[in-house]
Amino acid sequence: MQLIIRPLLIYLLLFQTVSLVSAKPPSECSDLSHVLLGKEYSVELMESYQTTIAHLEKKQHKYRRASSFLKHMFYYVHRKHLKRYQQFSLLTDVMKSGTYDCVSASALYALLLERLGFSYQIWEMDYHIYLSVDLGDRTIVLEATDPLYGFIEQPEEINEHRENLKQKAQTLHWEVGNTTPLIYRSITLTQLAGLQLYNRAINAWTRQQKKQAKEYAEQALNYYTAERIVMLANLVSQ
């Protein structure tokens, strides 16, 4: 049993994204902040977010080019909300203390892009999440984990960013003995909410909080019926 579970634990804990299979989310609502923040959602917790929204909505109309506004938005949000990287940070942690990882930071940017009316995609890889924004004539990448160079707009730099992530994922695949194809898929904001709940399940599980882990894993399945979430849900229910 240990020989089976140990590599599974390593693979689950290395990163919090999951393999995409048929997903049937309960809804595609435009603001999933309640789900992403869970029981800790409150008006007080969202005050800084609402202040940021008000600032960005005023600034948006002052920029002639959407790309220039997005660049302002990216770095403004990073300076104000994203202070310190810490794996398995939740959106709640972002709001409270500024700790973030690629999932929670991307969730914040996705909520803002949704509110501001941009067409964007959330890209899921085996060990990473990042965003791209479609401006019609061009695509811009938002790499939430890079406070200095995370706004990527040159096509060659976007390609290099993607290939570097794929190479890192392939290396990690080899290290854990994973023979499945690499994941590179676009997911919805609802599915990202499922990943956030999956993170909560992982955190609870590693702290021996089995009841909470089971509850979060079951909730995650309501938003994202993905392979690794199913694996975790089966494991914590035993």
Q: Which of 104, 134, 18, 117 lies closest to 60 in space, CA to CA?
A: 117
The yes-or-no verdict on residue 156 having pLDDT over 70 is yes
Kindly report whether the global pTM for this prediction surpasses the value 0.85: no
Mean pLDDT check: name the lowest of 159-168, 170-179, 217-226.
170-179
Q: What is the pLDDT of residues 94-117, one digit of tens each?
A: 989 999 999 999 999 999 999 999
Q: Summarize the confidence of residues 167-189 as an average pLDDT.
A: 87
The answer for residues whose C-beta is within 8 angstroms of residue 65's C-beta and 6 or more apart is none
Mean pLDDT check: name the lowest of 19-23, 197-201, 227-231.
19-23
Q: What is the pLDDT of residues 30-79, one digit of tens each?
A: 456 776 776 667 777 788 889 999 999 999 999 999 999 999 999 999 99
The yes-or-no verdict on residue 17 having pLDDT over 70 is no
Name the band, by pLDDT with cuts 50, 70 and 90, for residue 202.
confident
The yes-or-no verdict on residue 158 having pLDDT over 60 is yes
Question: Which one is predicted more confidently, 218 or 28?
Answer: 218
Measured CA to CA, the distance from residue 54 to residue 145 in angstroms comes to 24
The yes-or-no verdict on residue 8 having pLDDT over 50 is no
Average pLDDT, the chain: 84
